Amino acid sequence: MKRILLLLVVAGILIVAGVGGWFFVDSGRPYKGFEGSEQFVEIPPGAGPAAIGRRLVDAGVVRDELRFRIALWRSGQARRLQAGEYRFEGPVSPREAIDRIARGDVFLRAITFPEGLTIRQMSEIYGRSGFGQAADFVRAAGNPEPIRDIDQAAGDLEGYLFPNTYSLPRSTTAEGLVQRMVTAFRDALTADLVEQAAARGLSVRELVTLASLVEKETAKPEERTIVAGVYSNRLRIGMGMQCDPTVIYALERAGLYDGNLTRANLRFDSPYNTYRYAGLPPGPIAAPGRAALAAAANPADVPYIYFVSRNDGSHVFATTLDEHNRNVHEYQVKPFRRAAGQQ
C-alpha cells in the first residue's frame, strides 16, 4: 500500500511538473485570438500587472492569464509596464506583448496641418482626426499664455501653431497638441530670425503677421522672398497691403465669407481689411511655415510694388501702376473674357 501511495505521489508530481513545464514552454508561443489583422489595447495609467493581463486576454492578444503571469515572471519586467494604447498585428507571444508594453511602444496616430491654415481650419482637421472635438481645439488655441512672453498683444494663438505632421498617442488632449505646436513654432522662430526682423523694425508679432500674408499669397518657393519684398516696399512707403487673404480672413471672422471674394467685400470694414487700412493687419491671418517666416525676416531687395496672379499658382510683378494694369489686363481680364466667350 505504501508503495502504491508513493507511486501515486511521484506520478502526481510528474504530472504537475509536466503540466507546469508545458505551460512554461507554451507561454512563449505566439497566439492570436482576435478577428481581423490588428487589435488595439488601451492600458490606463496606474493599471497593475493583473489588470494589464486581463486586458490582453480580453482583447485576444494573450490566451489566458496564467500564461501571461508565467511570461511576466520570466521577463522580470512587472515594474516596467507602461500606460498607453498598443497595437498588435498577427500572432504574438506573451513575452513579446510584455516587452512591447515595457518599452512603452505606444501606437502613435498622425495628424497633419498644412501651412496657411487658421485656428478654425485646424480645428476642423482635429475634429475629423479622432483625437477630440473641434471645439476642444478652438478652446485650447484661444489661450495666448503659451506665447505671452514673445507677443503680449496676442488674444489667441493664431499664427503661432506651427504647421506640421504630429505623431501622437490617441489619448493626447487638445491642450497637449496645441502645446506641441507652440513648441514647434518656437523651434522654427530662431534667434537669428528674430534679430533679422528686429533690424528691419519688426516685432515678433509683425514678423509672424507678415509671414502669414506671404504664406497665403504664394506657395511657390521661389516667390516667397519676392512677395515679402513687395509687402516690405508697401510698408516703407505707407501703401496699403491690398492683400485679398486679409479680406477673406476678416469676412470669415464675421461669418460672412461664402467662398467668393467680390468688389463689395473689399470695402468691408474691418481692421484686417488691408484695402481699407494701411499697414499690416492687427495680427496673423494664418499659420506660416518655416520658409514664409524666413522670407518675412529676409525679403528680397526688389523694386516691385505690385503683383498679380497668372492663374497657375505663380505671379507677375510690376514696379509701376501702368505696368501692373497691363499685367492685370493680360492675366485677369483677357482670360475672364475668353472664358465668357467675349473678345
pLDDT in tens, 168-197: 998 899 999 999 999 999 999 999 999 999
Distance CA 324, CA 127 (A): 43
Q: Which CATH class is domain 22-106?
A: alpha beta
| pLDDT at position 273 over 90 | yes
Give the per-residue pLDDT at 332. Answer: 86
The Cα angle at residue 322 between residues 333 and 316, in degrees rounded to 5: 60
| pLDDT at position 8 over 80 | no
> What SS3 class is residue 257?
coil
Give the per-residue pLDDT at 334. Answer: 81
Neighbouring residues of 341: CB distance < 8 A, sequence distance ≥ 6: none
Residues 314-339, mean pLDDT to the nearest whole number: 88
Distance CA 39, CA 266 (A): 54
pLDDT, averaged across the chain:
91
Distance CA 158, CA 248 (A): 15
Give the per-residue pLDDT at 161. Answer: 98
Neighbouring residues of 275: CB distance < 8 A, sequence distance ≥ 6: 240, 242, 247, 266, 267
Q: How, if at all, do strands 108-112 and 165-169 pair?
A: antiparallel
Give the per-residue pLDDT at 339. Answer: 65
Kindly indicate the confidence band of residue 16, based on its pLDDT and cuts at 50, 70 and 90: very low
| pLDDT at position 120 over 60 | yes
> What SS3 class is residue 144?
coil
| pLDDT at position 313 over 50 | yes
Residues 152-176, mean pLDDT to the nearest whole number: 95
- CATH 3.30.1490.480 domain position(s) in the chain: 22-106
Q: For 203-233, how does the pLDDT look when each residue is reduced to its tens digit (9 = 90+)?
A: 999 999 999 999 999 989 999 999 999 999 9
| DSSP label at residue 184 | H
| pLDDT at position 74 over 70 | yes
Kindly indicate the confidence band of residue 292, based on its pLDDT and cuts at 50, 70 and 90: very high
Kindly indicate the confidence band of residue 2, based on its pLDDT and cuts at 50, 70 and 90: low
Q: For 78-117, how does the pLDDT look when each residue is reduced to its tens digit (9 = 90+)?
A: 999 999 999 999 999 999 999 999 999 999 999 999 999 9
Intra-chain end-to-end CA distance of the chain, in Å: 119
With contact defined as beta carbons under 8 Å apart, do 299 and 235 qualify?
no
| pLDDT at position 255 over 70 | yes
> What SS3 class is residue 254?
coil
| pLDDT at position 7 over 60 | no
